[in-house]
Amino acid sequence: MKYRSEIDGLRAFAVLSVVIFHAFPMWLEGGFIGVDVFFVISGFLITRIIFEELDKNTFSFIDFFGRRIRRIFPALILVMVTALVCGWFVLLADEYAQLGKHIASGAAFILNFVLVKESGYFDNVAETKPMLHLWSLAVEEQFYIIWPLMLWLAWKRKFNILALTLTMVLLSFTLNLKFVGSQPTHTFFWPIGRFWELLSGSTLAWLMLYKRSYLTRLKMSLDHVLMRMIYSDKSIANGSIVANLMSFSGLLILISGVILINEGLQFPGVWALIPVMGALLVIGSGSDALFNRIFLMNPIVVWLGLISYPLYLWHWPILSFLRIVEGETSYIETRIIAVVVSVFLAWLTYAVIEKPIRFSRYKYSVTTVAGVLTLTLGITGYFTFNSKGFPSRNIEVGKIVEAKGDWSYPDGLERIRGYEAKVFTTSRSKPNVAFLGDSHIEQYGPRVVDLYQKGLSREVVFVTVGGCPPIPSIIVKNHKKCANLLENFNSVLRKYPIDTVVIGAAFNGYLSTPEHAGGKYDYYYKDGDNAVSLSSAEGIALAKKSFYNFAKELADRYRVIVLLDIPSGQDFSPQAMLNATNKKRPLLMTDMKTYSSPFERYDLQIQLEDEMTQVFSASEVITIRQSELICPNGLCRALSGDGRPIYKDSGHMRPWFVTEVMDVIDGVLMKM
């Protein structure tokens, strides 16, 4: 195939659009459509090459995939190895594990499927994924696997290839339109919603190769009409006006796209027609088109196009690591330096790695080595993911990472079906003790299981729903299961010989801070036809009264214990500790003294404890202060003596801490 330098110029436009969008999104909001331009170019070139080889009867799958490997793998291997090495020193364990997963799926060219389950391309968290950009490479490789096989079969069976291609374009585009609204992330990443872009390039390749004379006649006819309109009847039509109009229109469409399109639109959807049509017009206009020659065939632009692939590979990991190290507020100057470094590394990669390997005389040996190295890298990435990011790289930070999300309830318990609430028991026989509440009572599950397995505990049943206060007349918007909590609890009381009820919940949230209602759920006290928000003092007062009466009434029939809430706040949160470590990267934090220092409890939490203790003191209700084991003498510690966080987040204890330390419920559970 004859080299067309304007296509490299178009590549330069595409990669610069993407790089500017990633580095300075406020400058070029639609720069991400450069990827769509790449898709059209790839579809055009690959299909053109396959057709030419099929015509000559020289097409070979081994040669085709060998060329793809030599073109794509070497630079990709270098970038992924560099990311793994840098991540070892910069990333926390969970981040490094995620990088390993992305490298494994990137090496297997399935990263687009993996990302669908994580987050959208435009989400803030996406900026901290150094291999995020490999999703587009995965889509292209999936196309390279499917399309050549289909073309070869269609060629051998003498199918109408144009009809086949157009049918697939229409099918893929229709599915893209159908799902972009309801499943935007799937449509963005999955090949089924993207193949039409590559196949549009394939269609153009077929037309330019097999309908060239027809296109030339059409172009000449249009040119003749335009010549007569602009000049005179004697002017000779040569197709240049149409070509120039196509080139100008294509470039104008592309420039308009990067300016007008933004991440707030449903993309790809119908909006992807803009970069696709722009790219098709530019490619279809040919090398002689005036604007192609002026803008796209400029030596500097062509040079950028030649290094576009390694530049695409390098720029995002560099910007992503910069975002991880410096946070959201990295300086513009720093990002400019990052882009310059990316361009330099891209040129170096092209000159030293990509070009020599791609055109090496030892193509089969090079192909084999590249394939083996990519496979090895994929295995290494999976091992990194499976090893949870090697938390032992930094023991102190590893302890914090391990604490995040550490939760074992309801392990060791048996579920009782038929309830909307979560009802779990140590045994289905005859539980005597009922635990009622939300996740703050669930966190005692590990200690209950431990005592029961040692033969020290009575039979226990848990009736819980996370985020639902065990308070009558409280309604919770956006959380329907809360309405069933007390109803299911009463059903359990009727069914089993319960003699003891233990109530625990996030009382510090429900009953002491009006701001709590601004969180995940909205809480209201139902007073007749009125609903009073717990974000008001009146709502909190009504909720308190309702709970106090509820517990006292239960105490007339059962032994009732109210677990006063545990201390809570960001001082306990492992994530808050990790956020603080971000400021000390890339060395990672090794000194935990900051988080081992004691701190005082919040006054509002202490006041609520005192109030609840006083209210129940004149009744049969027993109150237990959990805070004494966490904040002795009013001074709290977020870490244990060996440096482990005792909480999994700002308001939940970790299973090991409950099992080893929180013995406040043992007297309730012990066999009589």
pLDDT of residue 1: 72
> For residue 602, what pLDDT band results from cuts at 50, 70 and 90?
confident
pLDDT bracket for residue 646 (50, 70, 90): very high
Gyration radius (Cα) of the chain, Å: 33
The CA distance from 476 to 540, in Å, is 14
| Residue 383 token pair | 């091992």
Paired residues of 475 in beta bridges: 524
The answer for residues whose C-beta is within 8 angstroms of residue 543's C-beta and 6 or more apart is 469, 471, 473, 474, 510, 511, 523, 525, 534
Residues pairing with 24 in the sheet: none
CB 100 within 8 A of CB 389: yes
| DSSP codes joined into one string, 563-613 | EEPPP-SGGG-HHHHHHHHHTTTTS-----HHHHS-EEPPHHHHHHHHHHH
Do you find a cis peptide bond into 148, omega within 30 degrees of 0? Answer: no
Mean pLDDT of 325-333: 75
**What is the rounded distance in angstroms from the CA atom of residue 255 to the CA atom of residue 62?**
39
Please state whether beta strands 500-504 and 559-564 pair in parallel, antiparallel, or not at all (unpaired): parallel
SS3 237: coil
Q: What is the pLDDT of residue 586?
A: 40
Number of C-beta neighbours around residue 431 at 10 A: 22
Would you mind telling me the total number of residues written for the chain in this entry? 672
Compute the distance between CA of residue 622 and CA of residue 665 in angstroms, rounded to an integer: 12
For strands 433-437 and 474-477, give the pairing: unpaired
- Residue 126, pLDDT score: 81
Per cent of the chain over pLDDT 90 is 68
Spatial separation of the C-alpha atoms in residues 54 and 566, rounded to whole Å: 73
Reading the block at residue 643, the tokens are 């440096």
Q: What span, in angstroms and rounded, lies between the C-alpha atoms of 665 and 459? A: 14
Q: Which of 465, 501, 492 is nearest to 624 (CA)?
A: 501
Q: Are 476 and 523 in contact (CB under 8 A)?
A: yes
Are residues 194 and 139 in contact, defined by beta-carbon separation less than 8 angstroms? yes
Predicted local distance difference test score (pLDDT) of residue 237: 53
Separation of alpha carbons 585 and 338, rounded Å: 17
Q: Give the whole-angstrom CA distance, residue 348 versus residue 660.
A: 57
Phi, psi of 506 (to 5 degrees): -80, 65
Kindly indicate the confidence band of residue 672, based on its pLDDT and cuts at 50, 70 and 90. Answer: low
d(CA 158, CA 162): 11
Burial classification of residue 559, based on how many CB atoms lie within 10 Å of its CB (0-12 exposed, 13-18 middle, 19 or more buried): middle
DSSP string, 117-140: TT--TTSGGGGG-TTTTHHHHHHH
pTM: 0.71
Looking at every residue in the chain, the average pLDDT score rounds to: 90
pLDDT over 90 (residue 127): no
Minimal CA–CA distance to 169: which of 193, 141, 140?
A: 193
Q: What sign does the CA torsion over 242, 244, 248, 254 have?
A: positive
Q: How many CA atoms lie within 13 A of 534 on its CB side?
A: 30
Q: Is the pLDDT of residue 230 over 80?
A: no
Q: Over 50: is that where the pLDDT of 590 sits?
A: no
| Contact (Cβ atoms closer than 8 angstroms) between residue 311 and residue 21 | no
Q: Hey, what domains does the chain have and what are their CATH numbers?
A: 5-393 (no CATH), 414-568+603-631+653-669 (3.40.50)
Q: What is the pLDDT of residues 147-203, one digit of tens each?
A: 999 999 999 999 999 999 999 999 999 999 999 999 999 999 999 999 999 999 999
Six-digit token pair at 225? 């009409």
626 and 664 in contact (C-beta within 8 Å)? yes
How far CA 217 is from CA of 223, 242, 288, in Å, comes to 10, 12, 17
Show the tokens assigned to 513.
Answer: 């801070």
User: Which residues have CB under 8 Å from 47's CB, separation 6+?
Assistant: 147, 151, 201, 202, 205, 206
Q: At what angle do helices 395-403 and 93-107 cross, to 10 degrees?
A: 80
Distance, CA of 427 to CA of 239 (rounded, Å): 85
Instruction: Give yes or no for a contact between 662 and 444, defined as CB atoms under 8 angstroms apart.
Output: yes
Does the CA dihedral 302-306-312-317 come out positive or negative? negative
Give the model confidence (pLDDT) of 243-263 as tens digits.
999 999 999 999 999 999 998
Three-state secondary structure call for residue 156: helix
Judge contact between 90 and 585, C-beta under 8 A.
yes
For the packed helices 308-326 and 5-23, what is the interaxial angle rounded to 10 degrees?
0
pLDDT digits (tens, 9 = 90+) for 517-559: 445 568 889 877 788 888 888 989 999 999 999 999 999 999 9
Count Cα neighbours of 409 within 13 Å in the Cβ-side half-sphere: 28
Q: What is the spatial distance between Cα 393 and Cα 34, in angstroms, rounded to a whole number?
A: 38
Query: Residues 476-505, buried b or exposed e (16+ Cβ, 10 A)?
Result: beebebbebbbebbebbbeebebebbbbbb
Q: C-alpha distances in angstroms, 16 versus 4, 232, 342, 650?
A: 19, 42, 12, 43
| Residue 457, beta-bridge partner list | 670
**pLDDT tens readout for residues 263-313:** 889 999 999 999 999 999 999 999 999 999 999 999 999 999 999 999 999
Tokens of 538: 């009146």
Q: What type of residue sits at position 488? A: N
Q: How many helices (H) and strands (E) does the chain have?
A: 30, 12
**Closest CA relative to residue 656, chosen from 402, 425, 460, 318:** 402
Count of Cβ atoms closer than 10 Å to residue 441 Cβ = 22
Tens digits of residue pLDDT in 66-121:
999 999 999 999 999 999 999 998 888 888 999 999 999 999 999 999 999 887 66
Contact (CB, 8 A) for 202 and 196: no
